Amino acid sequence: MKLLSMNEIREDFPILNRKINGKRMVYLDSAATSQKPVQVIKAIEDYYRNYNANVHRGIYQLSVEATEAYESAHDEVASLINANPEEIIFTKGTTESLNLVAYSLGNRIRDGEILLSKMEHHSNLVPWQQLAKRNNLKLKFFDLTDDGELDLSNIDELINKNTKIVSLTHVSNVLGTINPVKEIAKIAHENNALFIADSAQGVPHIEVNVKNLDVDFLAFSGHKMLGPTGIGALYGKKEILEEMDPFMFGGDMIREVKLNESTWNTLPWKFEAGTPNISGGIGFGVAAKYIKRIGIDNIENHEKNIVKYAYDKLNEMDNVEIYGPEKRSGLISFNLKGIHAHDVSSILDESGIAIRGGHHCCMPLMEHLGIAGNARASFYIYNNEEDVDTLVKGLEEVKRIFK
Ligand code: C6P
């Protein structure tokens, strides 16, 4: 890290001082949810202590302050991915963002094909299965290569004039694969299809510039990028969002309501019905600001180094199977041969190490890999080589117990 040292960054995360089972806590589950810096925690507290009021409703001081903070959070999040604030809809998270697209956009699409891949998280699969059933659409899937990348060899067949939507994970939460979304979005557009990126594991870790990628939609979650839970975003190109019907109906998303019909608010509020998650939104904005202050390049580099360090260490161990390509984002999934991932995870917990074990909401990927699940260590800006060394020691202990 150039701007801030690792020690300075770790000091921003009070939870890292916790002891688990009497041991220094090693948190290696940031792909599930990241820890939160004091700046985010304080911003949420400040809202509730000092200017708690609803947004877009009152013309008194507190409500004006809350509205300004909530709206400027959209600006912060937008600028992180080079979008315009009106193109950033706050949702509950990636899952809701993808459901929003599948309903509001998908409902207009009939008789054609939706192209996904075998490495999708359930939230970029199940909403499309439902849409396909409703609207007579066919699902198709990119296969995967042996090292866990998208198999692009038949892309010309997969994306054709029947393709209506291509929706892909930007970064796999299991394999760490960084997919070439810009190149695939271009081919989708040449075939008049829309391109959607599930960037739940992208935006927190790598540079995302929606104009440069030229994606039509991009979904991500606040809680995986230092922000609170229950808040996330959907980026959508303005011209497409303007044409789409709202996802939910009620207060705040309307311009005018008569007894028998209504008109819609401007973007992005047309898609934010009801009292929003105001404190969450404010915290999300502060998280985006924090990431910009550290610099996404610095985050990317830090993770590249730490994941390489971890990969090399795990690779040196006997009876470890690692999944995914060598060039990967900041996570490693693996299995210790003959030992269930849940056992690995619960024994590591005794040493204060938090990793996730299971199918990671990617059951079709697990089926493709021929496994029930695996263990996953995922890294973020606050992890260091000491964390990896502790993990490796913990894994040796797991192997010793199961010998
Ligand atoms: N993956 C994991 O441990 P939500 O839950 O809506 O914030 O994000 C859903 C989601 C969508 N796409 C990808 C690629 C994801 O990784 C996730 C969340 C977590 O891997 C929880 S299952």
Same domain, 98 and 189: yes
Count of structural domains, the chain: 2
**Which amino acid appears at position 353 of this protein?**
I
Domain boundary among 255, 278, 293: 293
Q: How far apart are CA 130 and CA 166, in angstroms?
A: 16
121 C-alpha to center of ligand 1: Å? 7
Q: Does 249 map to a domain?
A: yes
Whether omega for the bond prior to residue 85 falls within 30 degrees of 0, making it cis, is no
222 C-alpha to center of ligand 1: Å? 11
Same domain, 376 and 299: yes
369 C-alpha to center of ligand 1: Å? 19
Q: How far apart are CA 168 and CA 305, in angstroms?
A: 26
DSSP 196-257: EEE-TTTTTTS---HHHHT-SEEEEEGGGTTS-TT-EEEEE-HHHHHHSPPSS-SSSSEEEE
Residue nearest to atom 17 of ligand 1 (CA): 200
338 C-alpha to center of ligand 1: Å? 27
| 297-306 CB burial, b ≥16 within 10 A, e <16 | ebbeebbbeb
Q: Identify the pLDDT of residue 23.
A: 96
| Residue 67 φ then ψ, to 5° | -65, -45
Domain boundary among 293, 312, 340: 293
Same domain, 267 and 321: no
Which residue segment(s) compose the domain that 153 sits in? 41-293
The finding on whether 177 has its CB within 6 A of some atom of ligand 1 is no
The finding on whether 361 has its CB within 6 A of some atom of ligand 1 is yes
How confident is the model over 26-74, as pLDDT tens digits? Answer: 999 999 999 999 999 999 999 999 999 999 988 999 999 999 999 999 9
Same domain, 136 and 12: no
Q: Does 66 map to a domain?
A: yes
Q: Does 1 map to a domain?
A: no
DSSP 18-85: -EETTEE-EE-BTTT-----HHHHHHHHHHHHH----SSS--SHHHHHHHHHHHHHHHHHHHHTT--G
Q: Identify the pLDDT of residue 3.
A: 53
The finding on whether 205 has its CB within 6 A of some atom of ligand 1 is no
Q: Please pick, among 361, 363, 371, 372, the residue that the annotation labels catalytic.
A: 361
Domain boundary among 245, 268, 293: 293
Please list the helix, strand and coil fractions of the chain in percent, rounded to the nearest 5, in that order: 45, 20, 40
> What number does the ligand 1 atom closest to the CA of 92 have?
6
Flag residues of the chain having pLDDT under 50.
1
Same domain, 161 and 251: yes
Cα angle: 350, vertex 353, 359; to 5 degrees: 100
Same domain, 155 and 203: yes
126 C-alpha to center of ligand 1: Å? 13
Q: Identify the pLDDT of residue 270.
A: 98
Same domain, 52 and 193: yes
> What number does the ligand 1 atom closest to the CA of 232 have?
7
Enumerate residues 6+ apart whose C-beta is below 8 A from 106.
127, 128, 131, 135, 165
35 C-alpha to center of ligand 1: Å? 15
What's the number of CA atoms in the CB half-sphere (13 Å) around residue 391?
Answer: 32
Is the pTM higher than 0.95? The answer reads yes
- In testing the pocket of ligand 1, which one of 201, 208, 332 has its CB within 8 Å of the most ligand atoms? 201
E strand segments, 231-323: 232-236, 254-257, 262-264, 320-323
Q: Identify the pLDDT of residue 4.
A: 65
Same domain, 370 and 309: yes
CATH number at residue 394: 3.90.1150.10
- In testing the pocket of ligand 1, which one of 28, 100, 122, 123 has its CB within 8 Å of the most ligand atoms? 123
Concerning whether 361 is annotated as a catalytic residue, the answer is yes
In contact, 112 and 138? CB cutoff 8 Å? yes
Q: What token pair was written down for 15?
A: 């939870």
The finding on whether 201 has its CB within 6 A of some atom of ligand 1 is yes
Collapsing DSSP to helix, strand or coil, 191 comes out as: coil
